[in-house]
Amino acid sequence: MRRQVIKGLAGGLALGAAGFPARPANAQPTLVFGGSDAVGTVLDRTNAMFTKLVNERATGKVKINFIQGEQLGSDVQVIEQMMKGSVAFYGDVLDWYANWVKDFAVLAWGFTFRDNDHFQKFIDSPTFAAMAEELRTKQGLRILAAAPTQPRILFAKKAVQSPDDLKDVKMRVPEIKTYLNLWQAMGTKPARVAWAEVFLGLKTGVIDAAEGPIGSAYAQKFHTAAPAVMRTDHLLSSLHITVNDKVFASLPADVQKIMVDAAKEAVIWGRRESEAETDDLTKKMAAEGAKVITVDRTPFAQRALSAVEGMERDGAWPAGLYQKIRDIR
C-alpha cells in the first residue's frame, strides 16, 4: 500500500520547482503534508487542524493535502522526503531531528524539563531558536511552531516513590541509547521486550515495569497488568509543524503569514488537547483499579543529572546544553 501511494504521488503529482506539483499557470498549488503518527492521536489531530486552518484561510491561493498515518513511510522517511521537496509539511515530535542536528538529542533525555511550562519556555528561548536555525540552514527545514504534549510515565508491579525503589527492577526500555542509559542510572535492569509484548511481559513477570506515552500505554492496558502507575512524566514530548524552507520562501507573504499563524494556533490547540487527554486517561486508569502516584521528581532528576556528564562525554549532545535548558526559568 505504501509503495502504491508513493508511486502515485511521484507519477500523478510530477513535482516541479520548490516542491510544488506541476500545474497549469495561475492554478492553486496543492502541497503535501506527510503524516507519520497513528490516525486519531493528538499529533495527527494537530496536523489535521493546521491543514483545516490553512485551507480555510488561503482558499484559492494554496491547498494542503494531508496524507495521514504512515502511508508515505516512517518519520525519518517523511522527513527525508520533506528535505527533497516532495513533501512540503511534516509534524510529529522534535526528537527525530537529532538525526541531523545533534542538539535535539537532549530532548530524549529524561527529566530535562520540569513541566510543560518549562518546555514551552525552552521553545521560546534563544537556545531552541539556535537549534531550529541550524536545522533550517543546514537541512532546509523551517519549524513554524512547536509546543509540549503528552508525557511518558512509569508502570510497575509495585509502587515506586524514588529511584531507590527501582534498584534491580526488570524494566522494559526502548533500545535507544538515551533511554537505556537513563534507566540504568535509575538502577533498573533494562530488558529487551517488543512494545507489542509488554502487556504479556508484565502479566507473566518477564518484566516488572515499563514506561511509555500515557495515551499509547493506556491503549495497551498496561495499567491492568502493572497496577502501580507513576506520574514520573520523565519525558515531556513535543508536537510541531515544519515546512520545507524553499517551499515556504516561494509563497506570497500573505500566505506565509497564514501558515505561521495557523501553525501557532494548531500547536496551542494540540497542547490543550493533550493536557486534557492526559488528565482524562489518568482518571480512567484510577477508575479501572490502578493506583496512580504523583512522585516527587526531584530525586529522579538528580539521578538523571549524575549520568549527563557521561552522555556529553560520549557526544550525545554538546557539553553544557542539558544544564542550560535546566536553568531556563
Domain boundaries, the chain: 2-148+236-281, 154-234+287-326
User: Does the pLDDT at position 78 exceed 90?
Assistant: yes
Least confident window among 18-22, 197-201, 231-235, 311-315: 18-22
Average pLDDT over residues 218-229: 95
> What are the angstrom distances between the C-alpha of 299 and each of 96, 186, 235, 279, 306?
28, 10, 15, 24, 11
What pLDDT is stored for residue 1 in this prediction?
38
Residue positions counted in the chain: 329
Strand spans (E) along the chain: 30-34, 63-67, 89-90, 141-156, 170-172, 189-191, 209-213, 228-244, 291-293
pLDDT band at 24 (very low <50, low <70, confident <90, very high): low
pLDDT band at 206 (very low <50, low <70, confident <90, very high): very high
Question: What gap in Å lies between CA 283 and CA 21, rounded to an integer?
Answer: 47
User: Does the pLDDT at position 2 exceed 50?
Assistant: no
User: Does the pLDDT at position 8 exceed 80?
Assistant: no
What pLDDT is stored for residue 171 in this prediction?
97
- First vs last Cα of the chain: how many Å apart? 47
Average pLDDT over residues 288-306: 95
DSSP bridge pairs for 142: 243
pLDDT band at 12 (very low <50, low <70, confident <90, very high): very low
In the chain, the percentage of residues whose pLDDT exceeds 70 is 92
User: Does the pLDDT at position 22 exceed 90?
Assistant: no
Compute how many other C-beta atoms are within 10 angstroms of the C-beta atom of residue 292. 16
User: Does the pLDDT at position 291 exceed 80?
Assistant: yes
Which phi and psi (to 5°) does residue 90 adopt?
Answer: -155, 145
Question: What gap in Å lies between CA 105 and CA 8, rounded to an integer?
Answer: 34
- Mean pLDDT of all residues belonging to the chain: 91
**Which superfamily is assigned to 2-148+236-281 in CATH?**
Bacterial extracellular solute-binding protein, family 7 (3.40.190.170)
What pLDDT is stored for residue 3 in this prediction?
36
DSSP bridge pairs for 65: 32
Three-class SS state of 177: helix
Which residue type does 277 have?
E
Average pLDDT over residues 72-97: 94
Which fold would CATH assign to domain 154-234+287-326? D-Maltodextrin-Binding Protein; domain 2 (3.40.190)
What pLDDT is stored for residue 4 in this prediction?
35
pLDDT band at 26 (very low <50, low <70, confident <90, very high): low
Three-class SS state of 28: coil
Which phi and psi (to 5°) does residue 42 adopt?
Answer: -60, -40
Average pLDDT over residues 31-46: 91
pLDDT band at 238 (very low <50, low <70, confident <90, very high): very high
Residue that wins the pLDDT comparison between 82 and 28: 82
With beta carbons less than 8 A apart as the criterion, state whether 220 and 193 touch. Answer: no
With beta carbons less than 8 A apart as the criterion, state whether 66 and 51 touch. Answer: yes
With beta carbons less than 8 A apart as the criterion, state whether 235 and 108 touch. Answer: yes
Average pLDDT over residues 272-281: 96
Pairing mode, if any, of strands 189-191 and 170-172?
parallel
Which residue type does 208 have?
D
User: Does the pLDDT at position 17 exceed 70?
Assistant: no
Average pLDDT over residues 36-52: 92
Residue that wins the pLDDT comparison between 269 and 108: 269
Torsion, Cα of 177, 185, 274, 93 (10° steps)? -20
In the chain, the percentage of residues whose pLDDT exceeds 90 is 83
Residue 229, class by beta-carbon neighbours within 10 Å (0-12 exposed, 13-18 middle, 19+ buried)?
A: buried
Average pLDDT over residues 211-240: 94
Question: What gap in Å lies between CA 6 and CA 21, rounded to an integer?
Answer: 14
